[in-house]
Structure 1
């Protein structure tokens, strides 16, 4: 049972709206697949994907905001097999890079297929509930796993990230599929840019990092070109520009709700931002800029 409670308030009186699971498992799956990017920050690729001689069918396949392959498994209520199923399909995915890339190219185009990050694919398990042992187990398994609970309150669906394990991702991730990419020189990582920055910029990033992580359920996941901070989906991405002495932060905000200021924040719709599409970019070069950005950062975190 979820600890989330929903109340209907009328004339100052609060009446609890009882939560319930969906009627059948496939109902939950179809609803999330139809709204996967809005709900989970994952672009939908395929449903009930057959794994050939490996056996079984993956509930949903997708690609997240950071270019990471994602396996999504659903259970209507509590089911101890959902994690083991996801791990079994992850084994299949490790052996079928080319097949996944072909599917991505077919659904999302060449650019998305060429930017797939194979370092640490994700599993997202969505269920009515998980046990305490489930939440402990994901920390020990050594793979990237999110446990997400759902609840239906009349015409409202809630999703709650209750446990997440980062797996064995390295700071400087690599694109490991394809001989041409393997032969190319390794691009400079965000950590190298940070190491090459002035002491003032490194301290400014430390302050920004502390602000983002002050919310205990925000996770930090270094990518190649940026650092991602997320809940169920990214709430902020941070790039480092040592030459300009700037931190470039993309936030999950509707540009229509932000007072845009030239040189400080801008509308990123249609500009292909990394990690968060169609949000707001904020340029932070001083503690004064960070103070000005604090409210926007808080809003972005609360929006997810």
Structure 2
């Protein structure tokens, strides 16, 4: 069980005791109604019936910020079978790509359907708790899996805690590890930009446990449950990083930080950080941490 304790400080200090949902459907309904806010995933379908001899229903289907397919399974308490059940549905999904594309086209349009990222499908398991064996098991699978523990606090609050997040070892992920943050190889960059890209990658991955990296053609996303940074391929003299930090809460510095809300840009996040040299990265560390905390 999570070690988090919540206290109400009005009129003294009173602990707000955590509790499980009355029914699994309560958690599923709340997440589906607020999926983009809670998980950074666009909702596609609930109780999706799969066409196979053994039958089955996927609790929730979605598309994340990087256009990767997402299977979401829920359990009210602790269940040893939720991961294997989710992996079964992921296998069906990747074998029936046309059916998923048709669903995306119906819900989100043809443009989204044409950009589905099949190299990085995700499984998110939302449950009351997980065992240490669950946490160990997800590290053994060659799939992208997030284990998310929930707790209700009183009548008005719910907490979500990422217990474990693992990136699948797909071919594209391997390329991302061999090439700095999935960006063009150092031979195609200037030496300074190559070193800066390596330093940015190390800084973002080092912000905490459970940071995963997803490579797209236009950017590389760094995420917990949600993206918190997107790094674009380096230009001749600078590297652009888009963060989830609120631009309105940042003292913007011309030539270093910019509010790109409403402007066309690659990746997610409305705060653009422009890095030209190592000392710019040092200045950006606090912004990186704020964006990580907000994801």
Segments ≥4 residues shifted beyond 6 Å? none
Q: Is the 8 A contact 2:146 2:166 kept in 1?
A: yes
The unaligned stretches of length 5 or more in structure 1 are 175-188
Aligned to 1:49: 48
Q: Is the 8 A contact 1:62 1:70 kept in 2?
A: yes
Aligned to 1:111: 111
**1:274 correspondence with 2:266:** yes
Q: Is the 8 A contact 1:72 1:86 kept in 2?
A: yes
How far is the alpha carbon of 1:195 from its aligned partner? 4.3
Aligned to 1:203: 195
Question: Which stretch has the larger CA shift, 165-174 or 34-43?
Answer: 165-174
How far is the alpha carbon of 1:199 from its aligned partner? 1.9
Q: Is the 8 A contact 2:193 2:234 kept in 1?
A: no
Distance in 1, Cα, partners of 2:103 & 2:261: 26
Alignment of 1:78-93 (within 5 A): 78-93=78-93
What's the Cα RMSD here? 2.1
How many aligned positions are there?
287
**1:230 correspondence with 2:229:** no
Q: 1:84 to 1:206 in 2, by over 3 A?
A: same
1:26-62 C-alpha deviation (Å, 9 max, x unpaired): 1100100111111111111111111023511101000
**1:299 correspondence with 2:290:** yes
**1:18 correspondence with 2:4:** no
How far is the alpha carbon of 1:237 from its aligned partner? 1.1
Give SS of 2:233's match.
strand
Give SS of 1:62's match.
strand
Question: 1:213 aligned to 190, 205, 210, which one?
Answer: 205
Q: 1:130 to 1:269 in 2, by over 3 A?
A: same
Q: 1:301 to 1:270 in 2, by over 3 A?
A: same
Aligned to 2:70: 70
Aligned to 2:278: 287
1:237-263 C-alpha deviation (Å, 9 max, x unpaired): 1112242x2211010122322233443
How far is the alpha carbon of 1:221 from its aligned partner? 1.2
Distance in 1, Cα, partners of 2:291 & 2:228: 6
The unaligned stretches of length 5 or more in structure 2 are 176-180
Give the TM-score taking structure 2 as reference length.
0.90
How far is the alpha carbon of 1:275 from its aligned partner? 3.3
Question: Which stretch has the larger CA shift, 48-57 or 254-263?
Answer: 254-263
Give the TM-score taking structure 1 as reference length.
0.88
Give SS of 2:18's match.
coil
Question: 1:240 aligned to 217, 233, 241, which one?
Answer: 233
Aligned to 1:263: 255
Q: Is the 8 A contact 1:204 1:287 kept in 2?
A: yes
